[in-house]
């Protein structure tokens, strides 16, 4: 493979974006008719434009090619296998899109009178009831817009609960060292001190360390189950008993419910607060930060603290209930990301309970199939029956100067998205693999073949991995620069 053929990043961005030529046009807009109307009086002087907008000037066909070609440079679940652990990149059924795109939904306005939006309110009400059922929680708020937002909401509820009892000493939140980075971040953002709980040799919460940290300053334990190693916390009932005995709350990070949905409920395990990621388990699209939905469910005791408004049904009519004096208030404008909520509702209605059971069953079978096969090639540090995902380690390639990321980059050349790398932090050189239930056995077998091939390359000619990928539009961008200073659009460079 020719390393020289890497396209220079700067040149490429010019090829991609700087296509404008003065005088070209793709849209025959009608002549302005409102020349004489006195807009000058309505728009403050400071906001008036002195010269025309500097928009790209292209023909329609150039424009179409530009966007179609850009879209083809993308990796997506619709084009590639995407085993990105913890992210649950499952197929998003297109019927979800069709329904969410119906005019009655896409043109609705949040300020419309509630008598005109009864259908939408019914969907929100039924979705939150379905999620309560699925999770075993007493009530669910659909407001939070993402997983981390759900966590923050949960932390605010935790604080409000303890303060309502006059218990002001509880300033600490406990998180296992395998937790998702958003857990300590959300707790910290809410003003809690974060205390890390180590994992034991089996990759589960160390009960002795937990007991030791559970004093009268502990507000909450945030737990992901199955944890980020893909392992079920089988001491969950003991953990729950210990947390509650010490007056703390138990928070469930349910971003990935894919291993349990339909079969096991966090409410029955004893959790007090949970969040779900509809953009993971419930098949709404995600990636690159949005838009998502992170509903929060609580046990009966905590209902008064949920965000307002809740959606209620009274005398056959749906409406909003703002009358919750102990509520933490609003956490999102209006009522949540309703476009995402409709998709999740369609998904749940299409599958029904039997379908949801099948989802988690197949997700677990697929992950274990891959784990069994790959553990004959790679090192799987916690090689135990897993749930929806598992973690391999490439640390035995340290001496060849290879890191987990190099394996991930090389996968791109084979048309497979990289697994999550360097997470969870407790596994050195981690590759976290989550196949999801929507992949076929043929795809899983191909993945194993490719991983075997890459393993051979790593042993025989590690440079192949160090310089990968070779087939993508750009190879190895400066990730910090790309994140801080991205060039994503037309720059109107004077010619
Ligand atoms: C994805 C994820 C989150 C965060 O969800 P966002 O919607 O990205 O904010 C939290 N916890 C776990 C375990 C996750 O996988």
CATH of the domain at 390: 3.90.1150.10
Segment 122-128 long-range contacts (CB within 8 Å, at least 24 positions apart): 122/318, 123/341, 123/342, 123/345, 124/311, 124/335, 124/336, 124/338, 124/341, 125/311, 125/312, 125/313, 125/318, 126/345, 127/341, 127/344, 127/345, 127/348, 128/295, 128/311
Query: Does residue 79 fall inside a structural domain?
Result: no
Range name among 95-104, 312-321, 475-484 with the lowest pLDDT average? 475-484
What pLDDT, on a 0 to 100 scale, did the predictor assign at position 18? Answer: 80
Cis peptide before 325 (omega within 30 of 0): no
Q: Is the CB of 292 under 6 A from ligand 1?
A: yes
In a domain, 470, yes or no: yes
Q: State mean pLDDT over 77-96.
A: 95
Q: Which of 60-64, 183-187, 386-390 has the lowest mean pLDDT?
A: 60-64
Q: Whole-model pTM?
A: 0.90
Domain boundary among 302, 333, 350: 350
Domain match, 345 and 449 both = no
**260, 239 contact by CB (below 8 A):** no
Range of the domain at 452: 355-483
Q: Is residue 86 part of a domain?
A: no
Q: How far is the CA of 140 from the centre of ligand 1 (A)?
A: 18
Is 16 a member of any domain? yes
Residues 190 and 327 in one domain: yes
Percent of the residues in the chain that have a pLDDT greater than 70, as a whole number = 94
Flag the least confident range among 93-102, 104-113, 191-200, 484-493. Answer: 484-493
- One domain, residues 67 and 115: no
Residue 90 in any domain: the answer is no
Same domain, 359 and 211: no
pLDDT at 6: 41
Last residue of a domain, one of 323, 350, 377: 350
Ligand 1 atom index nearest CA of 294: 7
Ligand 1 near 281 CB (within 6 A): no
Q: Is residue 84 part of a domain?
A: no
pLDDT band at 69 (very low <50, low <70, confident <90, very high): confident
Mean of pLDDT over the chain: 92
Does the pLDDT at position 3 exceed 50? no
Is the same domain home to 237 and 381? Answer: no
Domain boundary among 320, 350, 380: 350
My answer on whether 269 and 369 are in the same domain is no
- Please report where in the chains the tokens 């600490």 appear, as a residue: 172
Whether residues 177 and 45 share a domain: the answer is: no
pLDDT at residue 39 above 80? no
Number of domains in the chain: 3
87 lies in some domain: no
Cα–ligand 1 centroid distance for 183 (angstroms)? 9
Binding site membership of 182 for ligand 1 (Cβ less than 6 Å): yes
């Amino acid at each position: 493979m020719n390393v020289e053929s890497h396209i220079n990043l700067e040149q490429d961005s010019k090829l991609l974006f700087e296509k404008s030529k003065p005088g070209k046009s793709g849209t025959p807009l009608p002549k302005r008719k409102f020349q004489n109307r006195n807009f000058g009086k309505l728009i403050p002087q400071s906001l008036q434009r002195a010269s025309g907008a500097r928009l790209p000037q292209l023909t329609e066909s150039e424009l179409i090619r530009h966007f179609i070609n850009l879209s083809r440079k993308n990796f997506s679940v619709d084009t590639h296998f995407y085993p990105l652990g913890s992210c649950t990149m499952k197929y998003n059924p297109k019927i979800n899109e069709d329904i969410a795109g119906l005019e009655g939904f896409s043109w609705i306005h949040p300020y419309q009178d509630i008598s005109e939006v009864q259908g939408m309110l019914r969907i929100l009400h039924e979705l939150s009831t379905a999620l309560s059922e699925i999770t075993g929680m007493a009530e669910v708020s659909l407001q939070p817009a993402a997983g981390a937002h759900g966590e923050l909401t949960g932390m605010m509820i935790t604080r409000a609960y303890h303060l309502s009892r006059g218990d002001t000493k509880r300033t600490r939140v406990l998180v296992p060292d395998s937790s998702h980075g958003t857990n300590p971040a959300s707790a910290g953002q809410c003003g809690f001190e974060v205390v890390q709980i180590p994992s034991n040799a089996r990759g589960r919460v160390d009960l002795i360390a937990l007991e030791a940290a559970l004093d009268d300053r502990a507000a909450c334990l945030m737990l992901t189950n199955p944890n980020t190693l893909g392992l079920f916390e089988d001491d969950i009932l003991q953990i729950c008993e210990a947390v509650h005995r010490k007056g703390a709350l138990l928070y469930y990070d349910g971003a990935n419910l894919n291993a349990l949905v339909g079969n096991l409920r966090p409410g029955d395990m004893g959790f007090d607060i949970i969040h779900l990621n509809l953009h993971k388990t419930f098949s709404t699209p995600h990636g690159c930060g949005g838009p998502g939905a992170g509903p929060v469910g609580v046990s009966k005791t905590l209902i008064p603290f949920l965000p307002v408004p809740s959606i209620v049904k009274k005398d056959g009519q749906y409406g909003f209930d703002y009358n919750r004096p102990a509520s933490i208030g609003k956490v999102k404008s209006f009522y949540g990301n309703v476009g995402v909520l409709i998709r999740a509702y369609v998904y749940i209605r299409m599958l029904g309970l039997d379908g949801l059971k099948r989802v988690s069953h197949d997700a677990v079978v697929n992950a274990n199939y891959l784990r069994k096969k790959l553990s004959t090639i790679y090192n799987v540090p916690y090689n135990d029956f897993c749930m929806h995902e598992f973690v391999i380690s490439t640390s035995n390639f340290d001496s060849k100067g290879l890191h987990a990321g190099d394996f991930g980059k090389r996968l791109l050349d084979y048309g497979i998205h990289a697994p999550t790398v360097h997470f969870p932090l407790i596994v050195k050189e981690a590759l976290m693999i989550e196949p999801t239930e929507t992949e076929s056995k043929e795809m899983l077998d191909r993945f194993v073949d490719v991983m075997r091939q890459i393993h051979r390359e790593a042993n025989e000619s590690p440079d192949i991995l160090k310089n990968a990928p070779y087939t993508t539009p750009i190879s190895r961008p400066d990730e910090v620069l790309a994140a801080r200073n991205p060039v994503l659009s037309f720059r109107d460079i004077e010619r």
